[in-house]
Amino acid sequence: MAGGDLQVMAPPVGLRLPAPVDIFADLVLMHSRFHAANVRPASQTTFIMGNTPGRMMATAVGSMIGNQIAAKRAERMSAPQWRQPYAARTFITRAGIICLVDGIWSGYELGRIVQISPELQSYSVVFTFANGDAPLRLAGPWAPWSAVALAYLAIGRDDLARNPGYAALGPLNPQVQPPAARPMLQE
């Protein structure tokens, strides 16, 4: 954002995006989503040879305890949390964010983002969406810059300057542009 404006970069060689877009940054950031999962407990039944009442009772109690532990573990694993952290090639564009996650392109339109929450301690930024989609977290050295760039694109320079939430990120005119990402190897 040198000079107060984002600089459009040349499209990466060998990459054809679905539509022509102005690309401001080509970064590699960690990409994760916040949501619950359907995790089923693995029930376990232990069979002990023998037919004495003591062995049968011990087997039943052991299986019951093991199943309760498995159910609690599945409950913890099902809870909403940050999931599927992948290193993603990430483009900051005039339209929003485009990420290549595990070989699949994902797009996040600027107009659907209702909240941008930079988390400076963890070099990350969380995006909340209007339509109830799972929140998105991008993390890495350029995540705070991405937060400022997307807020700049979403609300404009003047409104961004008046927003106290971005004061901790420093001046709006950093004399630095993010680097172009190194080409990712094709599988």
Count: domains in the chain:
2
- Please check whether residues 95 and 127 belong to one and the same domain: yes
> Within a domain: residue 93?
yes
> What DSSP element (H or E) covers 100?
strand 96-101
Dist. CA 138–CA 144, nearest whole Å = 9
pLDDT at 115 over 90: no
User: Is the Cβ–Cβ distance between 176 and 2 less than 8 Å?
Assistant: yes
Return the higher-pLDDT residue of 64 and 177.
64
Are both 52 and 131 inside the same structural domain?
Answer: no
Q: Grade residue 131 by pLDDT with cuts at 50, 70 and 90.
A: confident
pLDDT at res. 153: 86
Q: Does residue 137 share a domain with residue 57?
A: no
**Mean per-residue pLDDT for 71-77?**
68
- Spatial separation of the C-alpha atoms in residues 98 and 116, rounded to whole Å: 16
Domain assignment present for residue 29? The answer is yes
Residue 103 belongs to domain spanning: 2-35+83-169
Q: Residue 3's pLDDT is what?
A: 46
Residue 179 lies in a domain: no
Between the alpha carbon of residue 17 and those of residues 6, 21, 123, 150, 165, the distances in Å are 20, 8, 27, 19, 33
* Mean local confidence (pLDDT), 27-44: 74
Residues 128 and 90 in one domain: yes
| pLDDT greater at residue 38 or residue 107 | 107
Which of 30-34, 86-90, 150-154, 156-160 bottoms out in mean pLDDT, i.e. has the lowest? 156-160
The verdict on 42 and 31 lying in the same domain is no
Whether residue 50 sits in one domain with residue 126: no
pLDDT at 67: 72
**Sequence-distant (≥ 6) Cβ neighbours of residue 154 within 8 angstroms:** 110, 113, 116
Say which range, 80-89, 106-115, 138-147, has the weakest mean pLDDT.
80-89
Q: 30 and 97 share a domain?
A: yes
Task: With respect to residue 107, please indicate whether it lies within any of the assigned structural domains.
Answer: yes
Co-location of 105 and 159 in the same domain: yes
- CA atoms of 44 and 58, how far apart (whole Å): 14
CATH of the domain at 16: 2.30.29.30
Reply yes or no on whether the pLDDT at 132 is more than 90. no
User: Are 133 and 96 found together in one domain?
Assistant: yes
Lowest mean pLDDT of 66-75, 103-112, 123-132, name the range. 66-75
Reported as a pLDDT band with limits 50, 70 and 90, residue 162 is confident
Q: Is residue 139 part of a domain?
A: yes
Looking at the fold, whether 107 and 63 belong to one and the same domain comes out as no
Kindly tell me if the per-residue pLDDT of 77 is higher than 70: no
Q: Is the domain of 88 the same as that of 146?
A: yes
- Report yes or no on 186 lying in a domain: no
**Does 183 fall in a domain?**
no
Residue 36 scores a pLDDT above 70 = no
Claim to verify: residue 42 and residue 74 sit in the same structural domain? yes
Answer whether residue 139 shows pLDDT above 90: yes
In a domain, residue 187? The reply is no
